[in-house]
Structure 1
Amino acid sequence: MSAIDVHRAHTLDKDHAREAAEALARDLSCQFDLNYEWEGDHLTFKRSGVKGHLNITDDDLRVHLELGMLLRPFKSKIEQEIHRQLDQILKA
């Protein structure tokens, strides 16, 4: 498996950070056909060939995805999209 790890600092309160994470999850779900589910402040992503999670802390968001062999060629595109989405939803 090929992994994507993105850590992004934020200055949002916990509720707004969760809203930002939800927006990211919704967008990625639509673009890459991912299913996601919240468990407290931990969001899990899943679909055939990819699994991962997003954690929210008081000062950062952490995204970790593991890509299967068929999605490895799209790693760069997926990672760029995560960064683009985070730039957009975390801008203050």
Structure 2
Amino acid sequence: MADIHIERDHTLGMAAARKLAWRWAEQAESDFDMSCTYEEGEACDEVQFTRSGVSGTLKVTGERFELDARLGFLLGAFKDRIESEIVKNLDALLAAKKPAAKAAAKKKKAG
């Protein structure tokens, strides 16, 4: 079995991070045929995802995303490719959120 561990710090806050995690879960379901469950907590949310040969969690806080996945024997051979795809998708979601966060901060200062 192969394991994947990815961490990304952010400055989105919990509400925005939660929205982004929901979008990530929706993408995982539609693009990779994952089954996802989302559990909200006060300080940490958790997305559990699974499909044949893959299982894992995405933990979400107001400052960090932490993804842990376990690949089965057959998918373990594609670990690097799978990991790079997950990183690409998560980084794209985070990058799309940054301009909106900066714009909101500018509006706050101006008001």
- Deviation track 1:3-57 (CA, whole Å, cap 9, x = no partner) reads 0000000110211101111222222222221100012211100111111000011
Could you say which residue in structure 1 is the equivalent of 2:39?
A: 39
Larger Rg: 2
Could you say which residue in structure 2 is the equivalent of 1:53?
A: 57
Task: Judging by fraction of residues, say which structure has more helix.
Answer: 2
Size of the alignment, in residue pairs?
Answer: 92
How well do the aligned residues superpose, as a CA RMSD in angstroms? 1.1
Could you say which residue in structure 1 is the equivalent of 2:4?
A: 4
Could you say which residue in structure 1 is the equivalent of 2:93?
A: 89
**Structure 1 segments of 4 or more deviating over 3 A?**
none
For 1:73 and 1:33, locate their aligned partners in 2 and report how far apart those are by CA, in whole Å: 19
For 1:46 and 1:8, locate their aligned partners in 2 and report how far apart those are by CA, in whole Å: 21
Identity %: 38
Unaligned runs of 5+ in 1: none
**Structure 1 residues 77 and 31 mapped into 2: Cα distance closer, same or farther (>3 Å)?**
farther
TM-score of the two chains, using structure 2 as the length reference: 0.77
For 1:82 and 1:16, locate their aligned partners in 2 and report how far apart those are by CA, in whole Å: 20
